[in-house]
Amino acid sequence: MFTFLLVVQAIIAAALVTVILMQRSEGGGLGVGGSPSGLMSARGAANFLTRATTILATLFVGLSVVLAVIASVQHAPSSIDTSLAKTAPAAPASNSAPPLAGGDPLAGAAQSIGNAAAPAAQAGNETVPLAN
């Protein structure tokens, strides 16, 4: 049904483009002259093309909404696939030393890894060369 409505949408779009191009514009357009009396007079053709444009545009927009609704209902997943879900990593062993008295939590972790001396904070920038 979706494919059928999609083909109908394409036919309506082509007809809409054709009807719009047939209308007479300020620059002359592609309007085809008709007999001076009856339905195909200049005024009758203009009224017919205007009505046809309105009807085709309404059908086009309405069918677009219907196709969008059908597409969202048909292609919606019925359940969530959890086969690729990541599992939480195992918690690391908690054999780290408690933080130092200075309140630096990273100092205790650095000592538990094997760094015997964590770098101490320097008072000044003596080791950083400055440009003169």
Closest CA to 60 of 9, 7, 5, 20: 9
pLDDT-derived band of residue 60, with 50, 70 and 90 as boundaries?
A: very high
How far is the C-alpha of 86 from the C-alpha of 97, rounded, in Å? 30
**Strands of 8-112, DSSP E:** none
- pLDDT tens per residue, range 98-130: 555 566 666 666 666 654 444 555 555 566 666
Residue 42 clears pLDDT 60, i.e. is over it? yes
**DSSP secondary-structure letter at 115?**
-
